[in-house]
Chains A and B, each alone.
Chain A
C-alpha cells in the first residue's frame, strides 16, 4: 500500500525568491534555513510523489470558471513559466505530473462525494514554484497539485477543506501501489495583498495559527469564517485553507515550526513547518 512519508507547510510569495535583496538579511537567512531544513527532511523521506495543496492566484481560473477544488491532470507543470519566472527570478522549469494517480484521485473523489474539477494545463505561480525551488531543487519527484479557491470569494469553508484533505489522505493510504508519498501545502500565513492594507502582517494571528497546529488542536481553526480570517489574517490569510487540507490528511500529526518571520518587505508572515506524527 502507499504511505504518507512526509508532510510540510510553507508560505509562498513571489518576493521570497524575486527580491531576496530587500529582506532583512537575518530574517531572510532564518527563513531560507527553514526552507532548506524542510528540503533536507523531505529528501530523507525519499518521496516518490508529492501531493501539493495549493491555490491559484487567478492566472489559471478566471471569474468565468472558478472551481472550489481542482485536481491537476497535466503531464507537466510550468513551475514557473518563462513569464512568471521573471517576477520570481527563478529559471523556468517543468515539473512532471502524475496523470494516473491524479485521475484515480478524481474518480475516487466522485465516489466519495468530492466532485473535484480538473485541469490538463496549469501554469504555476509562486504556489508551486517558490516552495519547490527550495524543497526539490532537482525537480525529479512528480507532483500532484490540488488547487483550492483561496483568492476569489466565496471560498470553500475551512471544515470542508479539512474534510477534502481527509479524503485525500484516505485515498493515498488505500492505494494498492507501494509508493512513498509526501504532502506539501503552501500559502499564508497573514498577509494583505492588493488591498488598501497591502503590506500589513499580523504576527499575533500567525502565532495563534502555528500554536494550534503545533498541538494538533485544529477545531478552533476549522471554525474560522471568511470574515474572521479577512480581519485577522488578511486576504492572503485565506490561503491557510491549503494547510488545513493537508492537516486533514494526517489526523493527529503536529506541526513543528522551523522558521517564522513576518517579513515586511515580502509583505507576508512567512513560515516553514514540518508536520509529523
Chain B
C-alpha cells in the first residue's frame, strides 16, 4: 500500500529544503502562493511533524525542514 501523498505539502517543503533552511515552523511568507488545505497550513505553521506525515508529506522532507522538532 503506497502512502497518501500531498503534492501541495511536498511542494512547499521542497522549496524550503532547497534553500537549505531548517525551521521549527513555517511562516506565512513561506506559504505565500501555495494552495493548501487548512489542516496542511496549520501543520506547517505549527511544525507538527506527526500531522504532516499523516497528511501526506514525504518523511525525508519533513526531516530536512523540521529537523529541530524531532527528539532524535
Contact = CB atoms under 8 A, between A and B. Distances in A.
Contacts of A199: 70-72
The main secondary structure of chain B at its interface with chain A is helix
B24 to A, nearest CB: 15
Interface residues of B, number: 25
Contacts of A226: 2
A198 B70 contact: yes
A196 interface: yes
B66 to A, nearest CB: 9
B44 interface: no
A63 B7 contact: yes
Contacts of B5: 63, 152
Interface stretch (A43-51, A80-88, A163-171): A80-88
The main secondary structure of chain A at its interface with chain B is loop
A62 B14 contact: yes
Given A195-B53, A198-B70, A198-B72, A235 B2 contact: no
A58 B60 contact: yes
B26 interface: no
A87 B10 contact: no
Given A194-B63, A195-B59, A267 B72 contact: yes
22 contacts: A62-B14, A63-B5, A63-B10, A81-B20, A83-B19, A83-B20, A151-B58, A154-B2, A193-B59, A194-B58, A194-B62, A194-B63, A195-B53, A195-B59, A196-B50, A199-B71, A226-B2, A227-B1, A235-B59, A264-B72, A265-B72, A267-B72
